Structure 1
Amino acid sequence: LLFSSNNSGGQFKIGERGSNLLVYAPQRAVLTFSNGTEINPDTLTPNKNVVISENLLINKKAAGIVELKTIGKGLKPVINGTIQTFQATKYTLVLTDGTKVYLNANSQLTFPEIFSKTDRVVNLKGEGYFEVTKTSKHTKFFVKTNEQVVKVLGTKFNIKSYNKTSVQTILLEGSVSISPADKFFHSVIIKPNQQAILKNNGVQISKIEASKALAWKDGFFVFNGDNTLDMLSEIARWYSLELDTVNAGHLKEYYGKIPSNVNLGQLIELLNYSGVHVKVYKDDLGKRKLFIL
Structure 2
Amino acid sequence: MKPLDNRRELLLLFRKYLNGEATPDEQRFVEAWYDSFDQVSENAADAAIPDEQLLEKRLEQQIRQKINERESPTLWQTLRRTLLSGKVAAAMLLLMLAGAWYYLSKPRKPQPEALPIALQDLSPGGDRAILTLSDGRQITLDSATTGLLARQGNTMVSKVADGLVSYKKEGSAPNQDYNTISALAGGKYSVVLSDGSRVWLNAESSITFPTAFAGNERSVKITGEVYFEVSKDRQRPFFVQVGEVQKIKVLGTRFNVNAYGDNGAVMTTLLEGSVQVNAQQAGIAAVTLRPGEQSSITRTGKVSVQENVNTEEIIAWKNGFFQFENAGIQTIMQQFGRWYDVDVSYEGKIPDQRFNGKIDRNVNASDALEILRFTGVNFRIERLPGKDKKGVIVVMSE
Superposed pair shares fold, TM > 0.5: yes
2:296 to 183, 197, 211: 197
Within 1, Cα distance between the matches of 2:122 and 2:365?
10
Q: In structure 2, give the amino acid aligned to 1:68.
A: Y
**What CA distance in whole angstroms lies between the structure 2 residues aligned with 1:221 and 1:168?**
18
1:60 Cα deviation from its structure 2 partner: 2.5
CA distance, structure 2, for counterparts of residue 206 and residue 54 of structure 1 = 43
Check the 8 A contact 2:115/2:121 in 1, yes or no: no
Question: What SS does the corresponding residue of 2:142 show, helix, strand or coil?
Answer: helix
**Paired residue type of 1:188:** V
Deviation at 1:96, TM superposition (A): 0.5
Identify unmatched segments of 5+ residues in structure 2: 1-35, 37-83, 89-113
State the match for 1:29 in structure 2: 129
Unaligned runs of 5+ in 1: 7-16
Q: Which has the higher strand share?
A: 1
CA 258–275 in structure 1, closer or farther in 2 if over 3 Å, else same: farther
CA contact (8 A) 2:175 2:211 kept: yes
Matches within 5 A, 1:60-139: 60-71=159-170, 73-135=171-233, 138-139=235-236
Q: Distance between the aligned counterparts of 1:190 and 1:115, measured in 2? A: 25
Q: 1:160-208 deviations in whole A, cap 9, x for unaligned?
A: 1111731111111111111111123211111111111112211110120
- Following the alignment from structure 2 to structure 1, what is the Cα–Cα distance between the partners of residues 395 and 183? 27
**Residues 4, 258 of structure 1: 8 Å contact kept:** no
Alignment pair present for 1:182 and 2:308: no
Identity over aligned pairs, percent: 31
Please say if residues 268 and 279 of structure 1, whose CA atoms lie closer than 8 Å, have aligned partners that are also in contact.
no
1:224 is aligned to 325
Residue 258 of structure 2 aligns with an amino acid whose one-letter code is K
Cα distance in 2 for residues equivalent to 1:4 and 1:134? 41
C-alpha distance in structure 2 between counterparts of 1:25 and 1:204, whole Å: 34
Indicate the residue corresponding to 1:5 in structure 2: 87
Distance 1:177 1:195 in 2: 11
- Larger mean CA deviation between 55-64 and 119-128 belongs to 55-64
Is 1:271 the counterpart of 2:372? The answer is yes
Contact 2:289/2:295 (<8 A) preserved: yes
> Which of the numbers 130, 143, 149 marks the counterpart of 1:43?
143
- Per the alignment, residue 238 of structure 2 pairs with 141
Q: Secondary structure at the match of 1:177?
A: strand
Which region of structure 1 is more displaced relative to structure 2, 37-46 or 173-182? 37-46
Taking a change above 3 Å as real, the CA distance of residues 76 and 41 of structure 1, as seen in their structure-2 partners, is same
1:66·1:93 contact (CA, 8 Å) conserved in 2?
yes
In the alignment, residue 236 of structure 2 is paired with which amino acid? T
In structure 1, how many angstroms separate the alpha carbons of the residues matched to 2:260 and 2:200?
A: 15
d(CA) in 2 for partners of 1:211, 1:173: 13
Residues 174, 88 of structure 1: alpha-carbon distance in 2 compared, 3 angstrom cutoff: same
Bigger share in helix: 2
Compare relative contact order (CA 8 Å, sep 6+) and give the higher one, 1 or 2.
1
Q: Which residue of 1 aligns with 2:306?
A: 206
Deviation string for 1:237-289 (max 9, x for gaps)? 32343444675652433333112222223322232246553333489xx8854
How many residue pairs match? The answer is 278
Task: Identify if the C-alpha distance between structure 1 residues 239 and 52 changes in structure 2 by more than 3 Å, giving closer, same or farther.
Answer: same
1:144–1:150 contact (8 Å) kept in structure 2: yes
Residue deviations 1:89-125, cap 9 Å, x none? 1101111111111000011111111111311111111
SS in 1 for 2:190: strand
Contact between 1:37 and 1:52, CA under 8 Å: does it hold in 2?
no
d(CA) in 1 for partners of 2:394, 2:168: 45
Aligned-pair Cα RMSD in Å: 2.9
Deviations 1:52-96 (A, max 9, x none): 24512123232211111112x342121311001111111011111
The CA distance in 2 between the partners of 1:56 and 1:185, in whole Å, is: 38
Q: What letter is aligned with 1:290?
A: I
For residues 173 and 24 of structure 1, what CA distance do their matches in structure 2 show? Answer: 34
Provide the rounded CA distance (Å) in 2 between the counterparts of 1:253 and 1:277. Answer: 15
Segments of 4+ in structure 1 off by > 6 A?
17-20
**Conserved? CA contact 1:32–1:38, under 8 Å:** yes
Contact 1:31 1:84 in 2 (8 A): yes
Q: Give the structure-2-normalised TM-score.
A: 0.62
Tell me if structure 2 keeps the 8 A contact 1:198–1:204. Answer: yes
Secondary structure class of the residue paired with 1:42: coil
